[in-house]
Structures are given as C-alpha cells and as structure tokens.
Amino acid sequence: MKKPDCGARRILVLEDEPAIGGICRRVLAGEEFEVDIAVNGKVAQDMLGKKAYDLCLLDIKTPAMSGKELYQWLKEEHPQMVSRVIFTSGSVMGGDTMIFIEQTGKPFLPKPFTPDELRAVVRDTLKEAGK
C-alpha cells in the first residue's frame, strides 16, 4: 500500500447511492479531504491496495461485497485501518446488523444524515485514532 502524500488526508467512501456519495464528496472535500468513492466492497478493496486512507466510511449494504464483508477483510489485510472505520446505512437495521455494529464498537451514522453529523463523526473518529 502506498503512503499518503505529505499533508494529504484521504477518505474512502463505500456507497452505492450516487446522491449520497456526491454529498459525502462535497462535504468532506470542503474539509480538505481527498475523497474516493467505491460503489461496492470489491472496488474498495482494489482502491485500498493502491492508496493509503485516513478513514473509511462504509455503507453496510452494497452490492457484490457489503460494508460488513469489507470490514472483515480489513481486519485481516489492513488491521491498521480498523480503528478508522465508520458504518452507515439507510435501511431498517435488522438484529444481526445491529449486533455486528455493537460488536465492532465502531461509530454508526444512520442515513439520512446532515453535513454537520458527517463532519462531526469523521472528526471524532480521526481524533480517537490519533490522526
């Protein structure tokens, strides 16, 4: 995995809804992040192999590979990223998904979210991770 450019802050957003991905890009670019959007976990895996990211915002339900599956892969392949994951979802959360999120101890941002909520959870997560 490549090292980030000096001073560059990068966020990988796993999001299959173009409108939500666009909002994330605009809000986070306004906070001086470089934002890459992956439409599914398989695309995100490829991107994680090419760039270093400061944070991953993972939609729980995406086609081909879900945010849950990508998180499990991150634990094995990029364990340093595990402390810098935020989960999001717009669907009604079933028991298994809620148990999963509780077990990970990672932040959860329900959709729809406001730009301020997005900024706050990103800021808090990076601060906790020492970034």
* pLDDT per position as a tens digit, 16-54: 999 999 999 999 999 999 999 999 999 999 999 999 999
Domains, the chain: 10-128 (3.40.50.2300)
Q: How many beta carbons lie within 10 A of that of residue 92, not counting itself?
A: 6
Residue 104's pLDDT is: 94
18-22, 98-102, 113-117, 126-130: the lowest-pLDDT one: 98-102
Residues 106-121 pLDDT 10s: 999 999 999 999 999 9
Q: What's the pTM?
A: 0.91
Q: How far is CA 110 from CA 65, 90, 93, 131, in A?
A: 20, 6, 10, 23
